[in-house]
Structure 1
Amino acid sequence: MRLGLMLLALGWVLALGGGWAAHLVQTSGGTEVRDVRFPASDGARLSGLLYLPADASAEDPAPAVLLSHGYINTREMQSAFAIELARRGFVVLAMDMSGHGYSQGTVGANAFGGPAAFAYLQGLPMVDRANIGMAGHSLGGAPILFAAKANPDGYRSMVLVGSTPGIFGAPEGEGRAFPRNLAVVFGQYDEFPDLMWQVPTGGDIVNAPRLKALFAAEAPVEPGRIYGEIAAGDARWLQVPPITHPWEHFSGSGVGATVDWLQQTLEGEARPLPADNQIWFWKELGTGAGLVGAVLLMLGTFQVLSRLTGLPDAQPRGQARDRRWWIALVLTAAVPALTYFPFMALGQLFAAGPLFPQQVTNQLLAWALMNGLITLVLALVLRGPAPRFQHRWLAAPLIAAASVGMAYGAALACDALFKTDFRLWVLALKPLDGRQLAYALAYAGPWILFFLVSQRAVAARLSLKGQGAGAEMAAWAVALSLGFVVLLILEYGALFLTGRLLTPAEPLNTIIAIQFAPLLALIGLIGAFAYRRSNSYVPGAVICGQFITWYIVGGTATHWAPGA
């Protein structure tokens, strides 16, 4: 009981303390952060976070910037740009693209939501309509390009961060005539050089024919040189920092280059600062602490309730780390990573529909369920001492649901008090809206089913009699995450050595895999903790199934909606 209370206390301290610290950073200089909604042309409700500097008013309007995140991300992913621009005096709207975050519709609907978001920002009384800029990362280039085409004289400059004109049907570039005053920030190690600029590596963008046409340049484009004239609206500027695609919106160089160009091309910010004067990473530390706190709240709640209801401690049968144990660990680590790319491809056949409307979630679920089948087959081959589980089929799942509910309550509290969530780079937990909660009800069952199979296998094969709690939790974490750690080392080792991924045809799935190394380690820790305190794999499976459902549904995109 004492351990559970300590975990609960520490979890709340980290969750609320981290949220408060993140709030202080994102409101630096008196900035106010508002959760806003605005309509699209078809009536769909779109979402954004509005950053209002203290000195922006109808009497003294400020320059403004529209920000858009990339595919299967949300508005919060642009907080680094938003914080740095707002503390310099820019009004900032970080939008959720259509079908992402809290924005209704499907991916690509209403021109990705760009024109509606621009119209909302432009109509704010504290915005200087003559000084509006835009910046979009990756697929986020599409909404701002559509907004620019719809408002050719309504904006002054644009930054495409890891993006390109014409992306997924967005307007194409027209030499130096469109877009106006364009900066391109593209990582030297970006994973999408083929898709974005039809070159083999990010560093080769300087030779890309499409880029040369945009810059009206015959020779390789020179990073850092301004082509054209800002006053004439035909300026062009390239930066190629030594970063990857996910780092372009999570690095000093990516953020600094974007802020630099917007400060050069827009006028009237109240507090101009050097581009390298940045504080956004302190906000990430705060929300990262909150993410740790959310996990501790789940563990603490489970510990307290399991003791109060008398759940038994685990009774493993295994005696030693023998050859069978090591084979089980290697297979547990290797099989999910080895099947990841092919099963994600097969998962495309699991098309988005009324019950399961998120295509990427469907692919991940297909990968998981097919791995569950493999686990069942391996369990028949790797026979060993029969485990002794004691299932409390009513109490254990209820306790597990209450454990996730405690973390969810903390997320609601941070959102209400501080306008922050739990996140660190690509990992994020945030409250779900009503639409997403309905999706989660459908997805939770299959995910729990997968974890019932996988965690039973891990408990049966890797738990040893007399093994300490720390050693057991470490073993589960390593077994579940090691395969993806090795996969990412191979992929990014090749990228940093050659400029190309080991599997250059899989850039999106490789980026998605980044989050699976820490996520699967967390699932291993949670599963082992719950098993040791219940002698059952059931509560751990319920916790992990609900946790993953919450995580994925809240962070990915909707691809089906009635009438879409």
Structure 2
Amino acid sequence: MLMLLSGIGASLVQTSGNTVTVRDLNFVTTKGFELSAKLLTPKGIKAEDSLPTIVTCHGMFNDKEMQDAFFVELSRRGYVVLTVDMPSHGNSDDTEVIDGCLVGTIEGVHYVSTLPYVDKTKIGITGHSLGALNANIAILEDNASETPLISSVLLNCNDAFYTDDDGNFVNIYGARNAGIIAADYDEFFMSDVDENGAKTATRDYLNYNNAQSFLHFGQDPRGLDHREGNTFYTEDINGVTANRIIYPINMIHPWSHFSYRAVKATIEYFEKTIGAPNPIASTDQVWQWKEFFNLIGLIGFFIFVTNLAIAVSKLEFFHIERDMESKVPEFTGKAASFFGGLAITTVFGTLTYLPIMYGFNSFMKDNSSWRQSTVFGIGMWAMCCGICAILLMAAASKKNSGEAFYTNAKLLGKDLGKTVLAAVIVVAAGFLCVTTVHYLFGTDFRIWVLAVKPFTSKFLLISLLPYMPMFLVYYIANSVSVNVYNNYNTKSNLCILAAANVVPVIIILAVQYIHYLVTGFMVWTDPGSMYIVWLFPMLVFLPLSAVISRKIFEVTRNPYLPGIINGIIVTFVSCSNTLTWAAR
């Protein structure tokens, strides 16, 4: 019911109460590859109409659905909106190198320019992070075109092109309107250098030359007046009045595609520069309701999976005889063993995350290693944490009589086969629900950077090796630890263990962002800052996995079933929501 409610509610918001038509489509680009996109148009649009149009593009390691706050609000105001999966993301074709990812926006512009109801003089582009770099590349290509198409560009959390190849300030945007949404605590962009050549804090972006040159239309800003944020500046260029504006917003980089203020700035910017067919106050936003319904579906998905696992385990074929009265082993120095083990795993997880990510070069910009280097690095860390937990449990059970532990943990070969089959059925049923909701309503289940979405056979095959085995090691070990090694009879115990799962993530995030907030500078910069941003979804997955495994174990006394289910789900979610390089 929750998943159905999610689909209905999110669809109503996405279509602005059935006044906007949303189409999922694929189109072949001018370069011969295929892009996946969503096209949103006012219902009843006619070929003779002429409407301002906006092409949006997501950031690196994301997909077009991450732009939902923007495409919902812009389409609601009457724009034609095309939101694209850039190459190597979502359901678009894969590329071999990072440069191949940068043509999503310009190809989107070429596509909308062929639609009869698009006003070719009012095409705007915007994008977040790498999507904003897509926009910059689109401007360069548009500049080289005999018939330029782009009239307005809004860069979200990425720098403009401030200088030419010789380091001189330049205005690549010409007579177009151009704006920037600048996060005060951007982890990747919005830094400059001061008069001594030292890197500046991102929160001081407006005080330095890059921002000032942008607001002065590419002039060297030294000796010119200081210009402010949130203010439109105009200049006559070749008889055209061009606008420049910077919106400084107190937020971090990944929050920008989930930000009321970023959406507000986007609405105001495009209404000013290309006009809104159906003007609505920028403070009147409804995309949060879509996120609410998406979240309801996400909750429903995990409730469904948990309860289906319990139901399947009760079927005669899948039923496994377990001692329902069995207790966990009574260890000597039980409290010391419990909290000591948690301390060791916490320290291990905290201290090994970044070394593993750096060591396996998890932020690759080409296909020279794994097709999904991100998932490989995180999976390797997860596997190492799982092995650490296994070694600790083995050592503790050996020191004390291990009989009780192994009685609870062992599973015969035929029972293991049934467990794996049951887990596969449960996960398949869960994703069948996701796919059905997407088919019927065009929505999925997500909140901020965490998304459960339908995926193609490509992602199924990619996930099997090497990523799934690594995640399975961790989630199976974690389930055994949570349910067999510890006292599973108390709620307080579950709360402690769920919290312990996520403590390493909290520590790393706290060190990075508290230091950033206080000093204006990060402890770990690129690529470390990217590795840390990848931790945000784990704030949900890691404690949730403990809760799911406990709920299933309480009924089945089988720790492997929830461990396998959690491992498969996390693998599928990770592999379907990231960058995928073309196979070598």
Q: Give the TM-score of the pair, scaled to structure 1.
A: 0.89
Deviations 1:441-461 (A, max 9, x none): 223233223333343344443
Look up the match of 2:429. 406
Look up the match of 1:34. 23
In 1, Cα distance between equivalents of 2:168 and 2:545: 45
- Residues 1:495 and 2:495 aligned together: no
Alignment of 1:110-509 (within 5 A): 111-152=102-143, 153-166=148-161, 175-178=170-173, 180-193=176-189, 199-216=199-216, 217=221, 218-229=224-235, 232=240, 234-267=242-275, 269-308=276-315, 309-311=318-320, 312=322, 313=324, 315-319=326-330, 322-348=335-361, 356-383=370-397, 384-386=400-402, 387=405, 388=407, 389-391=409-411, 392-442=415-465, 443-461=467-485, 463-464=486-487, 467-468=489-490, 470-505=491-526, 506-509=528-531
**Is 494-503 or 386-395 further displaced after alignment?**
494-503
- Residues 1:510 and 2:532 aligned together: yes
In 2, Cα distance between equivalents of 1:474 and 1:406: 28
What is the one-letter code of the residue matched to 1:114?
Answer: T
Q: CA deviation at 1:385?
A: 5.0
Give 5+ residue unaligned stretches, structure 2. none
| Residues 294 and 529 of structure 1, relative CA distance in 2, 3 Å threshold | same
1:487 counterpart SS class: helix
Task: Please list every run of at least 4 consecutive aligned residues from structure 1 whose deviation after the TM superposition is greater than 6 angstroms.
Answer: 194-198, 349-352
Answer yes or no: is the 8 Å Cα contact 1:66–1:93 preserved in 2.
Answer: yes
Q: CA deviation at 1:47?
A: 0.6
In 1, Cα distance between equivalents of 2:401 and 2:484: 8
Look up the match of 2:99. 108
| Residues 111 and 517 of structure 1, relative CA distance in 2, 3 Å threshold | closer
Deviations 1:449-494 (A, max 9, x none): 3333343344443x216x14x4454343222112212332333223
| Residues 561 and 177 of structure 1, relative CA distance in 2, 3 Å threshold | same
- Residues 1:52 and 2:41 aligned together: yes
Answer yes or no: is the 8 Å Cα contact 1:314–1:534 preserved in 2.
Answer: no
| Residues 472 and 150 of structure 1, relative CA distance in 2, 3 Å threshold | same
In 2, Cα distance between equivalents of 1:297 and 1:429: 13
Deviations 1:62-118 (A, max 9, x none): 111000110100000001010110010001111111100111112431633222211
The two structures, once aligned, show a CA RMSD in angstroms of 2.7
In 2, Cα distance between equivalents of 1:540 and 1:558: 28
In 1, Cα distance between equivalents of 2:360 and 2:522: 22
| Residues 110 and 514 of structure 1, relative CA distance in 2, 3 Å threshold | closer
1:533 counterpart SS class: helix
What is the one-letter code of the residue matched to 1:155?
Answer: I
What is the one-letter code of the residue matched to 2:438?
Answer: D
Residue from 3, 10, 15 that aligns with 2:3 = 15
Look up the match of 2:81. 92
| Residues 174 and 155 of structure 1, relative CA distance in 2, 3 Å threshold | farther
In 2, Cα distance between equivalents of 1:195 and 1:319: 56
Answer yes or no: is the 8 Å Cα contact 2:69–2:287 preserved in 1.
Answer: yes
| Residues 299 and 405 of structure 1, relative CA distance in 2, 3 Å threshold | same
What is the one-letter code of the residue matched to 2:326?
Answer: Q
**Is 240-249 or 439-448 further displaced after alignment?**
439-448
| Residues 76 and 157 of structure 1, relative CA distance in 2, 3 Å threshold | same
Q: CA deviation at 1:526?
A: 2.0
**Is 347-356 or 530-539 further displaced after alignment?**
347-356
| Residues 322 and 115 of structure 1, relative CA distance in 2, 3 Å threshold | same
Answer yes or no: is the 8 Å Cα contact 1:488–1:510 preserved in 2.
Answer: yes
Percent of aligned pairs with the same amino acid: 26
Q: CA deviation at 1:203?
A: 1.5
In 2, Cα distance between equivalents of 1:488 and 1:146: 32
Answer yes or no: is the 8 Å Cα contact 1:14–1:293 preserved in 2.
Answer: yes
In 1, Cα distance between equivalents of 2:340 and 2:478: 16
In 2, Cα distance between equivalents of 1:199 and 1:239: 21
In 2, Cα distance between equivalents of 1:256 and 1:162: 15
2:127 counterpart SS class: strand
1:548 counterpart SS class: helix
**Is 111-120 or 59-68 further displaced after alignment?**
111-120
Answer yes or no: is the 8 Å Cα contact 1:176–1:236 preserved in 2.
Answer: no
| Residues 233 and 315 of structure 1, relative CA distance in 2, 3 Å threshold | farther
2:416 counterpart SS class: coil
What is the one-letter code of the residue matched to 1:158?
Answer: V
Deviations 1:233-269 (A, max 9, x none): 54210111111111211111111111111110003x3
What is the one-letter code of the residue matched to 1:185?
Answer: I
Q: CA deviation at 1:174?
A: 6.4
In 1, Cα distance between equivalents of 2:477 and 2:161: 44
Answer yes or no: is the 8 Å Cα contact 2:309–2:552 preserved in 1.
Answer: yes
Answer yes or no: is the 8 Å Cα contact 1:448–1:541 preserved in 2.
Answer: yes
Q: CA deviation at 1:149?
A: 2.1
Q: CA deviation at 1:272?
A: 0.5
Q: CA deviation at 1:44?
A: 2.0
Q: CA deviation at 1:418?
A: 0.8
In 2, Cα distance between equivalents of 1:92 and 1:138: 19
| Residues 220 and 372 of structure 1, relative CA distance in 2, 3 Å threshold | farther
Q: Give the TM-score of the pair, scaled to structure 2.
A: 0.87
Q: CA deviation at 1:353?
A: 5.8
Answer yes or no: is the 8 Å Cα contact 2:50–2:117 preserved in 1.
Answer: yes
1:490 counterpart SS class: helix
Larger radius of gyration: 2
Q: CA deviation at 1:349?
A: 7.1
Give 5+ residue unaligned stretches, structure 1. 1-12
| Residues 524 and 264 of structure 1, relative CA distance in 2, 3 Å threshold | same
In 2, Cα distance between equivalents of 1:496 and 1:143: 29
Answer yes or no: is the 8 Å Cα contact 1:114–1:144 preserved in 2.
Answer: yes
Q: CA deviation at 1:208?
A: 3.2
| Residues 251 and 194 of structure 1, relative CA distance in 2, 3 Å threshold | closer
Answer yes or no: is the 8 Å Cα contact 1:206–1:220 preserved in 2.
Answer: no
Deviations 1:335-375 (A, max 9, x none): 22332111111121797769941111111122222323433
| Residues 256 and 24 of structure 1, relative CA distance in 2, 3 Å threshold | same
In 1, Cα distance between equivalents of 2:436 and 2:383: 34
2:183 counterpart SS class: coil
Answer yes or no: is the 8 Å Cα contact 1:201–1:500 preserved in 2.
Answer: yes
In 2, Cα distance between equivalents of 1:147 and 1:314: 65
Answer yes or no: is the 8 Å Cα contact 1:247–1:254 preserved in 2.
Answer: no
| Residues 112 and 369 of structure 1, relative CA distance in 2, 3 Å threshold | farther
